């Protein structure tokens, strides 16, 4: 490689990194100082409290600290502000980690991205947001990743079902929205869904509609098969379904005067063939299934800027949890998907294996403790049994 080519490559790389922007990043690495950056809503007086902790098990006690829900059966509402941005003509990447260490049964693990004019002290469940993204779990039937966009004043849910993680470990969730109206959802830095905003959400009316002036012709025959007109029912076809049992005999003790006239029981007629139906043949007039012709929808207008939000300036946790214990951490909003992937590897990726090892170690210690308790319990029961036998023996001797 020549010196010139190396220089050009360095300039190109520098240019790429120069265009990367981090709009918001929060890793809770400065203790209680997070309280100066995150504002809890005052819309209701009984919101649950967030606490800063790495939880019961972790990969790094300091790096894995995040905001944890701490009270059961509560709504939570807290947000943090950043300088107002627009994602016009550039990607938007939203990323964060969620850890349901309480083995969550019902509750949200998602974030909301709000316009910059949000009144944080009055933030609540009906506050207008731009994007809602992240896992939501409620019983065995709901274990999904929400991807909801506000478009022209209405919230639109994705038409696809994206399954979230439902274990107790930390997981990385990433949403990429591109200026070509495409998107990508990643979990643990692996793509789980992608596609077109227009195709996977009902933002716009359909491009095509059924022609209101078109009607199926009266003589349109959709029956693929018809009865064979030349097939005739055999003359001996119609016989009774049941007949008197020819092997039955009147009991010797049957009294016609007392019991009435004796009749043999009925049995299935072996000659019975069921209801006769003519054979089916191909319908010579069959034209296939009639398809309603479509026309261009006059109400449809393409929108190349579905992806775009003119104002974003607040990220919020606005959710409900039945059983508390979820930890939110490693928030990132950027315009660079590669940078987000790198940050994900340096944060979640660096601590995920140690976290699992610590959890496994704790479970092994718990197992050993239970086994020891069982052994002690059996030994105590055996000792009590022996003492009881000695007492009975002494009592017998005294007698």
Residue 129 assigned ligand-binding role: yes
User: In sequence order, what DSSP letters do the residues of 154-185 get, joined into one string?
Assistant: EEEE-SS--BPP-SSSEEEEEEEE-TTSEEEE
Reference 169, options 351, 382, 47; nearest CA is 351
How big is the chain, counted in residues?
399
Residue 307 assigned ligand-binding role: no
DSSP state of 35: G
Residue 112 assigned ligand-binding role: yes
CB 70 within 8 A of CB 324: yes
Residue 110 assigned ligand-binding role: yes
Half-sphere exposure of 157 (CA within 13 A, CB side): 8
242 dihedral zone (left: phi>0; alpha: psi -120 to 50; beta) = beta
CA distances for 286 relative to 42, 219, 221, angstroms: 69, 10, 5
CA distances for 251 relative to 15, 259, 388, angstroms: 108, 11, 72
Phi, psi angles (nearest 5°) of residue 324: -80, 170
Residue 353 assigned ligand-binding role: no
Residue 318 assigned ligand-binding role: yes
CB 327 within 8 A of CB 55: yes
Q: How far apart are CA 333 and CA 336, in angstroms?
A: 9
The DSSP bridge pattern shows strands 326-334 and 22-26 to be antiparallel
Reference 361, options 6, 16, 19, 56; nearest CA is 56
Residue 23 assigned ligand-binding role: no
Residue numbering of the annotated binding site for an alpha-D-glucoside: 110, 112, 129, 136, 318
Residues annotated as binding site for Ca(2+)?
Answer: 27, 63, 65, 329
Residues forming the annotated binding site?
27, 63, 65, 110, 112, 129, 136, 318, 329
């Amino acid at each position: 490689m020549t010196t010139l080519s190396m220089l050009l490559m360095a300039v190109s790389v520098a240019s790429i990194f120069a265009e990367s922007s981090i709009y918001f990043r929060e890793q809770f690495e400065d203790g209680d100082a997070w309280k100066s950056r995150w504002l809890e809503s005052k819309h209701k007086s009984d919101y649950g409290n967030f606490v800063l902790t790495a939880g019961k098990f972790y990969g790094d006690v300091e790096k894995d600290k995040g905001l944890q829900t701490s009270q059961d059966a509560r709504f939570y509402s807290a947000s943090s502000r950043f300088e107002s941005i627009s994602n016009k003509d550039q990607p938007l990447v939203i990323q964060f980690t969620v850890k349901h260490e309480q083995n969550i049964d019902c509750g949200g693990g998602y974030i909301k991205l709000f316009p910059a004019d949000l009144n944080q002290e009055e933030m609540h469940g009906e506050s207008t947001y731009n994007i809602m993204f992240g896992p939501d779990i409620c019983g065995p039937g709901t274990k999904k990743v929400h991807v909801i966009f506000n478009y022209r004043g209405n919230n639109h849910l994705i038409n696809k079902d994206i399954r979230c993680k439902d274990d107790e470990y930390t997981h990385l969730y990433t949403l990429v929205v591109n200026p070509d109206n495409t998107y990508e959802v990643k979990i643990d830095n692996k793509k789980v869904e992608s596609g077109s905003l227009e195709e996977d959400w009902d933002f716009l009316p359909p491009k095509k509609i059924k022609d209101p002036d078109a009607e199926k012709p009266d003589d349109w025959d959709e029956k693929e098969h018809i009865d064979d007109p030349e097939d005739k029912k055999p003359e001996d076809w119609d016989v009774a379904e049941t007949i008197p049992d020819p092997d039955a005999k009147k009991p010797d003790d049957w009294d016609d005067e007392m019991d009435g006239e004796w009749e043999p029981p009925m049995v299935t007629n072996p000659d019975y063939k069921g209801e006769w139906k003519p054979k089916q043949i191909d319908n010579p007039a069959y034209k296939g299934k009639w398809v309603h012709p479509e026309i261009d929808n006059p109400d449809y207008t393409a929108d190349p800027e579905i992806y775009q939000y003119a104002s974003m300036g607040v990220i919020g946790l606005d959710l409900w949890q039945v059983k508390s214990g979820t930890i939110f951490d490693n928030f990132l909003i950027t315009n660079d998907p590669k940078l987000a992937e790198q940050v994900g590897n340096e944060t979640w990726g660096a601590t995920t294996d140690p976290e699992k090892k610590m959890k496994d170690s704790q479970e092994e210690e718990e197992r050993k403790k239970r086994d020891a308790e069982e052994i002690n319990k059996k030994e105590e029961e055996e000792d009590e049994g022996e003492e009881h036998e000695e007492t009975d023996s002494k009592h017998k001797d005294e007698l």
